[in-house]
């Protein structure tokens, strides 16, 4: 039975261990996946296969939430060495600034220019709202503005369609999912753990979170555990 992992990262080579992985760990994880015969594609390349309830074989998707600077500086060259492209989820109003939604440590966010450069190299820029709120705690009108406004601004910045979304904090309910659909997104990532299967709901995709201390073996362990849970 076919399953596909969407890996969830935040920063690479940033400060602290929270929402961060060392570049050496990401390098080892890429090497392992390459040795196992995997290739990596951006999330948008799953839209068509999922509509037909099929999945590309031996494929992973790298997602980097919050479009943090370390991803531009360190993950980009690492993935490029394999000819791979990934998806970053941008918080539009924080581009060029810092994360203000994580409780303690702040991470630097890519600039609009860096995000545009990534998009030109074939990386996918997905939307992660305007300000990273808890969407279920907002009045409906404000939540829709966060969801649709981010898509609108990113499309204007990049000059291309934005089809992927990621729920801040994984916070969602039925109404929020409906808004994401109405705003025109085709796929959306949650923080629910698991692997994608051919009949996964495209707006409720599970992921495999990667932590600071995961090297190649850590990745393998997480993949096997997610595989067991999703059979
Ligand atoms: Zn986030």
**What pLDDT sits at residue 156?**
98
Q: How far apart are the first and last CA of the chain?
A: 8
1: CA distance to ligand 1 center in Å?
31
CA of 167 relative to ligand 1 center, distance in Å = 7
In a domain, 23, yes or no: yes
Alpha helix segments (H runs only) across the chain: 23-35, 47-51, 69-70, 76-80, 112-120, 140-158, 174-182, 216-229
* CATH number where 111 lies: 3.20.20.370
Picking from 176, 183, 180, 89, the residue whose alpha carbon sits closest to that of residue 134 is 176
Whether 123 is covered by a domain: the verdict is yes
* pTM for this predicted structure: 0.96
pLDDT value at position 105? 80
Q: How far is the CA of 140 from the centre of ligand 1 (A)?
A: 20
In a domain, 1, yes or no: no
195 within a domain of the structure (yes/no): yes
pLDDT number for residue 116: 98
pLDDT value, residue 163: 98
Average pLDDT of adjacent 10-residue blocks, the chain of 231 residues? 91 89 96 96 98 96 97 98 98 95 84 98 98 98 98 98 98 98 98 96 97 92 87 68
Question: How far is the centre of ligand 1, averaged over its atoms, from the C-alpha of 99 (Å)?
Answer: 9
Inter-CA distances, 216 with 55, 88, 191, 195, Å = 24, 22, 21, 18
On whether residue 101 sits in a domain, the answer given is yes
Ligand 1 centre distance from Cα of residue 66 (Å): 5
pLDDT of residue 103: 67
Q: Which residues contact 79 (CB under 8 A, 6 or more apart)?
A: 30, 40, 62, 85, 86
* Four-CA torsion 204, 101, 211, 168, nearest 10 degrees: 0
Q: Residue 90 in contact with residue 76, Cβ under 8 Å?
A: no
pLDDT of residue 204: 98
Confidence at residue 1, expressed as pLDDT on a 0 to 100 scale: 55
Looking at residue 111, what DSSP letter applies? P
Least Cα distance to 124 among 58, 66, 42 occurs for 42
**Domain-embedded: residue 37:** yes
Predicted pLDDT of residue 218: 93
pLDDT of 102 reads 75
């Amino acid at each position: 039975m076919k399953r596909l992992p969407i890996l969830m990262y935040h920063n690479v080579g940033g400060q602290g261990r929270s929402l961060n992985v060392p570049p050496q760990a990401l390098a080892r994880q890429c090497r392992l996946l390459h040795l196992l015969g995997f290739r990596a594609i951006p999330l948008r390349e799953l839209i068509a296969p999922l509509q037909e309830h099929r999945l590309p074989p031996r494929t992973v998707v790298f997602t980097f939430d919050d479009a943090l600077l370390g991803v531009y500086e360190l993950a980009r060259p690492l993935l490029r060495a394999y000819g791979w492209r990934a998806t970053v989820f941008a918080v539009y109003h924080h581009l060029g600034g810092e994360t203000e939604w994580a409780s303690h440590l702040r991470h630097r966010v890519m600039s609009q220019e860096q995000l545009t450069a990534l998009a030109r190299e074939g990386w996918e820029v997905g939307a992660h709202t305007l300000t990273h709120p808890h969407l279920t705690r907002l009045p409906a009108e404000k939540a829709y503005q966060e969801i649709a406004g981010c898509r609108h601004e990113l499309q204007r910045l990049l000059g291309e369609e934005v089809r992927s979304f990621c729920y801040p904090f994984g916070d969602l309910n039925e109404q929020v999912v409906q808004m994401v659909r109405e705003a025109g997104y085709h796929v959306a990532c949650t923080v629910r753990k698991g692997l994608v299967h051919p009949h996964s709901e495209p707006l409720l995709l599970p992921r495999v979170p990667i932590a600071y201390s995961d090297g190649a073996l850590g990745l393998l362990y997480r993949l096997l555990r997610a595989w067991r849970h999703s059979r």
